[in-house]
Amino acid sequence: MTETQSFYGRANHRDPEETGIRAEGLRAFVAKRETTRHSQNTLAMSERRACALVGLPRRITRYVSTRTDDAALRQRLRELAG
């Protein structure tokens, strides 16, 4: 990290250790999302109240991935690399 980056608090965005994004953190978001959905369905709780209860932003609860399935592409890259 350069002096300017350290001054402004910017780290290499591709290094998960420096950005603070870890597998444990992602699993925590998934667990909180599931807890929120369970609270809404089972306890007839509103989305706003359920999210506040588990400490999860509502936009994360609503997130739907738009990523395409690229399994064939990944397999072809493995073949080329190997």
What per-residue confidence (pLDDT) applies to 2?
A: 53
Is 25 part of a structural domain of the chain? yes
Is 81 part of a structural domain of the chain? no
For residue range 3-44, what is the model confidence (pLDDT) as tens digits?
545 444 554 445 445 445 566 777 888 889 999 999 999 999
Say if residue 50's pLDDT is above 70: yes
Is 3 part of a structural domain of the chain? no
Is 48 part of a structural domain of the chain? yes
What total of structural domains would you count in the chain?
1
What per-residue confidence (pLDDT) applies to 10?
A: 52
In angstroms, rounded to a whole number, what is the distance separating the alpha carbons of residues 2 and 19?
Answer: 16
Is 8 part of a structural domain of the chain? no
What per-residue confidence (pLDDT) applies to 60?
A: 85
Residue 48: domain span:
21-66
In angstroms, rounded to a whole number, what is the distance separating the alpha carbons of residues 48 and 58?
Answer: 7
Is 76 part of a structural domain of the chain? no
Note if the pTM is more than 0.85. no
What per-residue confidence (pLDDT) applies to 13?
A: 46
